[in-house]
Amino acid sequence: MASQSTFVIVGAGLAGAKAAEALREQGFDGRIVLIGDEASRPYERPPLSKEYLQGKAERDSVFVHDADWYPSHDIDLRLGTVVQSLDRDRHEVILADGDHLPYHKLLLTTGAEPRRLPIPGADAERVYYLRRVEDSDRLRDLFATASRLAVIGAGWIGLEVAAAARTAGVAVIVVEVAALPLLRVLGPQVAPVFADLHRAHDVDLRRGTGIQEITSSSGKATGLRLADGSHVEADAVLVGVGAAPNTRLATEAGLEVDNGVVVDASLRSSDPDIYAAGDVARAYHPFLDKHIRVEHWANALNQPATAAAAMLGQDARFEALPYFYTDQYDLGMEYTGYTEPEGYDQVVVRGDLSTREFVSFWLHQGRVLAGMNVNIWDVTHDIKALIHAQTPVDIARLADPSVPLAEVGTRA
Ligand SMILES: Cc1cc2nc3c(=O)[nH]c(=O)nc-3n(C[C@H](O)[C@H](O)[C@H](O)COP(=O)(O)OP(=O)(O)OC[C@H]3O[C@@H](n4cnc5c(N)ncnc54)[C@H](O)[C@@H]3O)c2cc1C
């Protein structure tokens, strides 16, 4: 690509920073402008609900690059800058202050935002959402004074915050509308592990429970009115009901958008000069043979190298299997692969769910679709191999912890 080219990256989170890095690593010597609306330079979000929230990690540890990395790699990093719109015909990005910035290629890494809860009281003071480092700071300050936190939603973030709050000595009630925490992701066989984990740490877990309103007094949250009319008191509320992709720019510019910016395997959108990566992208996955949008750290970390290669005119495809992890109390887990709730017909557990040391597998017609290792490490490579094999496995050997995963073998 000619050195006079300008590549603009909108969204200075992990994916944006990694894209700038990948472009330089892959030899692009043109202009790179990385624009983000946050005040901080790109940082990683997983610590915000874990070690950073618990005060075990410093602010400096969350950044993707040192501050001097950007000038030293000739990246024009514009923080606190909102991109207002895209003018595809003129190949320009329009900033909120009215400035126009020309681009040859554009990458959207605008990420996602927490879903808001459309119930009365959701705007009260002491109702928290967690996405940005400032949100995590506020929550950490809260832990020092609050005696009881109500968490709405037993997804990953809700449960991680519940764990951090309990670790800080705050009483926690978690209210989940589904019958179990993480039911959609883990299914009824494995999801109870997380319910038991939190109960073991004295979390008051209410399942299958809707919420009428967040109650408040003098504008401050005082608790939750549950669907059955009962009231639970709390001096703060965390809403963790999922995230929605930041697709406004793409939608208004007329790009194909469907729960994310729709991109092909090379992360190119319906406009050949515009790409998307990270939480905002709904990418065609060649191995899974479908479009998926993945809201996980590893995706934001790794997709940008593919986007960068494609922006530089190479034939690149993103084919890595989805991977994510969580840490809650003394439970650490990694999940590799992909399945939807109706996509599997068997769950196989190797190890013991009750001791929270196991690997569980989700299978369809004997083929492994996904695997989750809990407090067992260094098996991701083997889980990936089982998924990629796409052949029915020997179930008895898969379930037997004495058989190395690499030697499970196929069904006789
Ligand atoms: C609290 C928390 C904990 C998490 N823990 C885990 C975990 O344990 N494991 C895991 O796998 N994943 C985890 N994740 C998910 C992971 O952090 C995300 O997948 C990752 O941050 C996505 O990166 P991204 O760069 O695509 O988007 P983001 O990190 O959302 O970055 C996008 C950036 O673009 C900015 N932006 C948006 N629109 C505009 C605009 N118009 N103009 C300028 N800037 C704009 C946004 O403000 C944001 O700064 C966690 C997420 C959160 C919030």
Q: State how many domains the chain has.
A: 3
- The verdict on residue 219 lying in a domain is yes
- The verdict on residue 1 lying in a domain is no
On whether both 39 and 139 belong to a single domain, the answer is no
Write the residue with the smallest CA distance to atom 31 of ligand 1. 13
CA of 284 to the centre of ligand 1 (A): 20
> What is the rounded distance in angstroms from the CA atom of residue 52 to the CA atom of residue 238?
17
Residue 228: pLDDT over 90 = yes
Residue with structure tokens 């191999």?
Answer: 385
CA of 111 to the centre of ligand 1 (A): 5
On whether both 297 and 230 belong to a single domain, the answer is no
Q: Strand order in 346-352's β-sheet?
A: 323-328, 331-337, 367-374, 357-364, 346-352
Residue 232: pLDDT over 60 = yes
Strand partners, 365: none
On whether both 237 and 131 belong to a single domain, the answer is yes
Strand partners, 325: 334
> Quick one: angle between helices 192-200 and 183-190, nearest 10?
90
Residue range of the domain that includes 152: 127-241
**Nearest by Cα to 275 from 247, 313, 311, 314:** 311
CA of 46 to the centre of ligand 1 (A): 9
Band the pLDDT of 158: cuts 50, 70, 90.
very high
On whether both 235 and 251 belong to a single domain, the answer is no
- In the three-class reduction of DSSP (H, G, I as helix; E, B as strand; rest coil), residue 159 is classed as helix
pLDDT at position 409 is 85
- Percent of the chain residues past pLDDT 90, beyond the cut: 98
Residue 198: pLDDT over 60 = yes
- The verdict on residue 318 lying in a domain is no
Residue 298: pLDDT over 80 = yes
- The verdict on residue 109 lying in a domain is yes
On whether both 231 and 266 belong to a single domain, the answer is no
CA of 13 to the centre of ligand 1 (A): 6
- The verdict on residue 133 lying in a domain is yes
> Which of 222, 241, 260 finishes a domain?
241
> What is the rounded distance in angstroms from the CA atom of residue 26 to the CA atom of residue 182?
39
Band the pLDDT of 237: cuts 50, 70, 90.
very high
Residue 403: pLDDT over 60 = yes
- The verdict on residue 323 lying in a domain is no
- The verdict on residue 324 lying in a domain is no
pLDDT at position 300 is 98
On whether both 157 and 190 belong to a single domain, the answer is yes
- Mutational test site, ligand 1, from 279, 306, 331, max ligand atoms within 8 Å of CB: 279
Write the residue with the smallest CA distance to atom 27 of ligand 1. 111
Band the pLDDT of 3: cuts 50, 70, 90.
low
- Mutational test site, ligand 1, from 45, 131, 302, 335, max ligand atoms within 8 Å of CB: 45
Q: Mean of the pLDDT values across residues 196-212?
A: 97
Residue 167: pLDDT over 90 = yes
Q: What is the pLDDT of residues 355-373, one digit of tens each?
A: 999 999 999 999 999 999 9
On whether both 277 and 188 belong to a single domain, the answer is no
**Nearest by Cα to 20 from 308, 214, 283:** 308
Number of residues that make up the chain = 412
- The enclosing domain of 366 has a CATH number of 3.30.390.30
Write the residue with the smallest CA distance to atom 35 of ligand 1. 11
- The enclosing domain of 218 has a CATH number of 3.50.50.60
Q: What is the pLDDT of residues 128-152, one digit of tens each?
A: 999 999 999 999 999 999 999 999 9
- In the three-class reduction of DSSP (H, G, I as helix; E, B as strand; rest coil), residue 107 is classed as strand
CA of 16 to the centre of ligand 1 (A): 10
> Which of 276, 311, 346 finishes a domain?
311
On whether both 77 and 133 belong to a single domain, the answer is no
> Which of 226, 241, 256 finishes a domain?
241
- The verdict on residue 184 lying in a domain is yes
On whether both 146 and 295 belong to a single domain, the answer is no
- Percent of the chain residues past pLDDT 70, beyond the cut: 99
On whether both 299 and 336 belong to a single domain, the answer is no
* Dihedral (CA of 389, 394, 398, 402) sign: negative
Q: What is the pLDDT of residues 63-101, one digit of tens each?
A: 999 999 999 999 999 999 999 999 999 999 999 999 999
Residue 10, judged by CB atoms within 10 A of its CB (0-12, 13-18, 19+), counts as buried
pLDDT at position 163 is 98
On whether both 270 and 366 belong to a single domain, the answer is no
On whether both 45 and 91 belong to a single domain, the answer is yes
- Mutational test site, ligand 1, from 18, 64, 110, max ligand atoms within 8 Å of CB: 110
Q: Look at 316 and 410; give whichever has higher pLDDT.
A: 316
